[in-house]
Amino acid sequence: MAKTKKAWFCQSCGTQHPQWMGQCKSCHAWNTLVEEVLERESAPTSWADPQAGLERAKAMPLSEVDRHAEQRHATGDAELDRVLGGGLVPGSIVLLGGEPGIGKSTLLLQIALGLGEKVLYVSGEESAQQIRMRAERVGLQGKGCHVLAETSTAKILQSAEQLKPSVLIVDSIQTAHNPQLDSAAGSVSQIREATAEFLRYAKARHVPVILVGHITKDGHLAGPKVLEHMVDVVLQFEGDRHHLFRMLRALKNRFGSTQELGIYQMHGHGLQGVANPSGLLLGQREEGLSGSAVGIPSEGMQPLLVEVQALVSSAVYGTPQRACTGFDTRRLNMLLAVLEKRCGFRLGAKDVFLNVTGGLRVEDPALDLAVCAAILSSNADIPIPSGMAFAAEVGLGGEIRPVHRIEQRINEAGKLGFDHVFCARQNGVNAGTMQGVQVVPVRRMEDLVTALFG
Ligand code: TYD
Ligand code: MG
């Protein structure tokens, strides 16, 4: 009988242990170790063979490396190309993560159909008929798009070898499995092995490979952490399923910035890139309501105008509630503490709810000032005059801190008809008009309170 090598893997962090233990040594999670087959002695050589292609390995001076070899492959989708940093790099692996139903399969099928080149779209989750129905729904012809409903990595790569596609798409890595390994599809060793096989294929054939990755309950990519180390680009597709907008971000990008944000809208006939998100986001804004303020976060190079809504009311139960959508709850608690301690607002006994409209999740701290303004406005029940926007970070001392790219933010506000922008005094912009916008530099939280409510 063939000898097999086995080890124990933590299903939560992917650490390998030589024997079973109750608690993982690395992440300290309990009862997460599962025995998995590492390799079989009788494994035949194939793409799965790490030795394959070794004869090509030869060190060379960096200056002799062909710089032009890495021509980017534009996908034709302006948002995706921007997030990738200009298109797919040949021989790279892109991992696209996201919650179920967010639109990963739709996005990739649209790319496959829109490329107009030979693309192999492999699905382990849907049948060829289902893919065809989806293609008809998004209304694209896609002459060069070939589909394959398969989960075995050997068969997928065999078919790729025959077809020689210019892009390979695998939906999803959790369904791909190597029959040589005993463990079930989706387990740590299967995911790692399957990714390694696609990686070897990508590097050997200079073909970009896009993998779909599932996401766990707590929002991390399912599978071992090494998966994220192995791939070149990790993209995350996020947004509220009940909202129109879907956001595409790069969490890791070996070939570009991780700052860019792509915004899509889900229609009845597929996903569509949104060219003017600020206009759409502010379109549904109601004027004259207290608790609403407009912030100017900048995700990547493009500043956005978003509406922040706050509701401050007396807590009915003992412990006041704090809830956020689209903003970090810990950051909200910090801002509330600053307002309480530095400005004397009694918010400790109040429920505070915060909402960034449009289903957007904002990470830029430049939204802080708008969040504070919305809270103060709701607390005092005085609306903020329309035409005012805010772009600054708030420090623990109650000081208003500068943010980058302030001119671009002010410009964007001006384009959308705003006439006042509050920013930090240290931002280096002087009070006065800039592109028709009145710039109001503030130094401390108290200055904002005086400017808004007198
Ligand atoms: P899907 O792309 O299958 O998501 P994932 O692969 O991330 O699980 O699902 C997309 C969702 O969007 C699904 O619930 C149906 C809906 N949808 C539309 O609203 N319009 C469309 O044109 C398509 C194809 C899907
Ligand atoms: Mg899917």
pLDDT along the chain (454 residues), means of 10: 73 83 88 75 50 61 72 88 90 92 92 90 93 89 89 94 94 89 83 92 93 81 79 88 81 86 88 83 80 89 88 88 92 94 89 88 91 94 92 94 91 88 89 86 92 85
pTM for this prediction:
0.77
Is the distance from CB of 181 to CB of 190 less than 8 angstroms? yes
Tokens of 305: 């105008």
Tokens of 451: 């400017």
Q: Of the residues 169, 266, 272, which should be mutated to test ligand 1's pocket, given the most ligand atoms within 8 Å of the CB?
A: 266
Helix (H) or strand (E) holding 111: helix 104-114
Q: Identify the pLDDT of residue 268.
A: 87
Pocket around ligand 1 at a 6 A CB cut-off: 98, 100-106, 134, 137-138, 266, 268-270
Q: Identify the pLDDT of residue 44.
A: 47
Counting from 1 in the atom list of ligand 1, the atom nearest the Cα of 270 is 22
Is the distance from CB of 308 to CB of 294 less than 8 angstroms? yes
**Using CA atoms, how far apart are residues 151 and 94, in angstroms rounded to an integer?**
19
Q: Identify the pLDDT of residue 276.
A: 79
Counting from 1 in the atom list of ligand 1, the atom nearest the Cα of 104 is 7
Q: Per-residue b/e over 377-416, b at no fewer than 16 CB within 10 Å?
A: bbbeeebbebebbbbbbbbeebbbbbbebbeebbbbbbbb
Tokens of 406: 């302030």
